[in-house]
Copies of this chain bind each other. A is one copy, B any other.
């Protein structure tokens, strides 16, 4: 077993002081964690991990997640030193506008950053998703002779990560499932921003993780390279359990204020930076000093990584020779390609005359149709599959005993579910979906936001999407959630009006390779609109479309989404019977509609028509943009109520009669 050489020591110090100097120069950042955890991270990267700095997308690389994203300079230093496309100038641009070295790691911005981290606990759970994806791919594609998926998921996690509930949820699930690829190094420095972790965090972390079913190693000295390596090797050998390696460290190691909260989140200051360098035997000048032998030593990973990938390519060649179709499918999966013809005929799933059907039910039908065509669709629910209708029949279950199933069981853990799905998507090889009730989207907003920020394909299914869910009452009835989801930049929110739009919604979600989609689906049955009478559902592809009109040009626009569309159509028919030229616009996806050319939008919602009524069983926030100053909104500007769904809907005015009344008022007002 190699021990800590003088060169190792200088490599570790190079990492530490790149972090210190970058934070000094930026006058902002977190030097403490990189200084404390440099040796652990160096051991992992230099002695253990499999990666190719020149191809961060190599499918069989080990994954590394810096869950404590504030320690970003630790990761940037490692990426630079090992030869990724991240220069010393990039390091010097730490936290500057447009740089590749933002304050917290961003996967879209920096080669080698696997996931965007910073909000604590997310990275921890992302790793669980990566391990699920890797295990699933291994079950599907590996053969005894061809272990083409053969990598570990490493993470560096902090006290803060372990205090967050999302990591607790993810850890419990990882232990239950026995995700042996998962190897987490816990940077146990005993310090939080408000002081010693003792003020709020006295639990026995090791005992907790053992209770979850993890292998717990340590505590060891995080500065002891040999001990860290030994522990990681032991973690690798336990393939049936995830491993947590508890590494005792000193935050801000080397600084005069090491071991205190002071060194956590701001520059050391010139004097303390110099003192730390002096104490650890580092040249005081120049800043950003990287000794030639350090660089040479760490840059050997460029060659080693290329060799490792070449070996794997040879393995893939053998695999392709023996199993050409599986190999081709594997490559397509890792690229995220959808099979040819995957979407053919799905628009025929719900022919005219179909019986009324909840959009959650339609979604279930679509999921099952897609499951047969898109082998990499893998997903599940937070213990609500029978209600969300998200089970893939015949897809098998991903269980502790079988990691090859396509139906995931997240337990009642919405937050981890979202973060795990993000990790699956960032691992690649699968297209993940999640499911719960719309009101519980609140439990998983942080990962939804991060999916949008990372621009990854995750499908978030939300059913029971309005007060019409009925008896479960206001705790379960979303009213503000559509607006709150629409608020997230780059997230597409689609609320289909019937079964046919639901199929289109799923197609749109899968076609959208570089961003997440949220689907809002009903609990209650809805008529399947007769598309020989109404416009085809593929109008959804443009976000909103003219579903029906009694005469052109219209004198009144009725705009609705989801379960309110058919009620609105009923009102429109009656208004038309009274001689009004009325148009009904189905507007299932604002983001898609707003992205259409102005002339399309004006054709659907002619600016000259000021009499407009929007109908959606939710708050009005944002609808002003479509109804304009003279329009009206039939919405739910308050919490709901517990009663049968029909009663709730009628009570709050979602009836053709009420729509007609409001519409006539608006027409009258506009005419004045």
A616-647 interface code vs B (CB 8 A; 1 in, 0 out): 00010110110011000000011101111001
B386 contacts A194, C-beta separation under 8 Å = yes
Contacts of A449 in B (CB 8 A): 442, 480
**Pick from B159, B413, B487, B625: contact of A484, CB under 8 Å:** B487
Q: Which of A452-485 contact B (CB under 8 A)?
A: 452-453, 470-476, 479-480, 483-484
A361-394 interface code vs B (CB 8 A; 1 in, 0 out): 0000000000000000000010111110000000
Q: A410's closest neighbor in chain B, by CB?
A: B200
Q: Which of A93-151 contact B (CB under 8 A)?
A: 95-99, 102-104, 106, 116-121
A474-502 interface code vs B (CB 8 A; 1 in, 0 out): 11100110011011111000000000000
B163 contacts A165, C-beta separation under 8 Å = no
- Would you list 30 pairs from A and B whose C-beta atoms are within 8 A, ordered by A residue? A29-B471, A95-B643, A96-B644, A97-B641, A103-B476, A103-B642, A104-B475, A119-B440, A120-B412, A159-B412, A160-B383, A161-B412, A163-B172, A163-B383, A165-B165, A165-B168, A165-B416, A175-B202, A176-B200, A176-B202, A192-B383, A200-B410, A261-B386, A265-B387, A442-B446, A483-B621, A484-B484, A484-B487, A489-B637, A622-B624
Q: How far is the CB of A338 from chain B (nearest CB, A)?
A: 27
**C-alpha spacing A261/B543, complex, angstroms:** 39
Q: How far is the CB of A138 from chain B (nearest CB, A)?
A: 21
B489 contacts A385, C-beta separation under 8 Å = no
Contacts of A166 in B (CB 8 A): 165
Contacts of A307 in B (CB 8 A): none
A28 interface contact, C-beta 8 A: yes
Which of A208-216, A328-336, A425-433, A662-670 contacts the other chain?
A208-216
Contacts of A475 in B (CB 8 A): 69, 104, 106, 116-119, 450, 453
Could you say which of A102, A159, A195, A400 has the most chain B C-beta atoms within 10 Å of its C-beta? Answer: A102
B165 contacts A413, C-beta separation under 8 Å = yes
- Known A207-B210, A446-B442; judge A202-B163 contact (CB<8 A): no
Q: Which of A405-429 contact B (CB under 8 A)?
A: 409-413, 415-416
B175 contacts A169, C-beta separation under 8 Å = no
**Pick from B69, B211, B453, B624: contact of A211, CB under 8 Å:** B211
Q: How far is the CB of A170 from chain B (nearest CB, A)?
A: 9
A342 interface contact, C-beta 8 A: no
**C-alpha spacing A201/B171, complex, angstroms:** 11
A483 contacts B487, C-beta separation under 8 Å = yes
Residues in A lying within 8 Å of B, measured CB to CB? 26, 28-29, 69, 95-99, 102-104, 106, 116-121, 159-161, 163-169, 172-173, 175-176, 192-195, 197, 199-208, 210-213, 261, 265, 381, 383-387, 397, 399-400, 409-413, 415-416, 439-440, 442-443, 445-446, 449-450, 452-453, 470-476, 479-480, 483-484, 486-490, 619, 621-622, 624-625, 628-629, 637-639, 641-644, 647-648, 651
**C-alpha spacing A508/B372, complex, angstroms:** 57
Q: How far is the CB of A156 from chain B (nearest CB, A)?
A: 16
Contacts of A201 in B (CB 8 A): 172, 176, 411
**C-alpha spacing A213/B643, complex, angstroms:** 42
B194 contacts A642, C-beta separation under 8 Å = no
B621 contacts A473, C-beta separation under 8 Å = no
**C-alpha spacing A486/B483, complex, angstroms:** 10
- How many chain copies does the complex carry? 2
**Pick from B164, B203, B643: contact of A165, CB under 8 Å:** B164
**Pick from B104, B384, B622: contact of A642, CB under 8 Å:** B104
Q: How far is the CB of A182 from chain B (nearest CB, A)?
A: 15
**C-alpha spacing A559/B552, complex, angstroms:** 39
Contacts of A99 in B (CB 8 A): 642-643
Contacts of A26 in B (CB 8 A): 471
Q: A491's closest neighbor in chain B, by CB?
A: B480
**C-alpha spacing A205/B168, complex, angstroms:** 12
**A-B contacts besides A192-B383, A449-B480, 10 pairs, CB < 8 Å:** A98-B643, A119-B476, A163-B169, A165-B415, A173-B200, A193-B386, A194-B381, A442-B446, A490-B638, A628-B629
Contacts of A480 in B (CB 8 A): 449, 487-489
**Pick from B439, B473, B624: contact of A624, CB under 8 Å:** B624
Contacts of A470 in B (CB 8 A): 28
A639 contacts B489, C-beta separation under 8 Å = yes
Could you say which of A173, A381, A638 has the most chain B C-beta atoms within 10 Å of its C-beta? Answer: A173
Contacts of A210 in B (CB 8 A): 207, 211
Contacts of A642 in B (CB 8 A): 95-97, 99, 102-104, 106
**C-alpha spacing A203/B471, complex, angstroms:** 33
**C-alpha spacing A103/B167, complex, angstroms:** 31
Q: A622's closest neighbor in chain B, by CB?
A: B621
Q: A440's closest neighbor in chain B, by CB?
A: B119
Q: A445's closest neighbor in chain B, by CB?
A: B442
Contacts of A637 in B (CB 8 A): 489
**Pick from B119, B161, B208, B473: contact of A103, CB under 8 Å:** B473
**C-alpha spacing A197/B476, complex, angstroms:** 23
Q: A486's closest neighbor in chain B, by CB?
A: B621
Q: A452's closest neighbor in chain B, by CB?
A: B639
B119 contacts A439, C-beta separation under 8 Å = yes
Q: How far is the CB of A449 from chain B (nearest CB, A)?
A: 6
B192 contacts A411, C-beta separation under 8 Å = yes
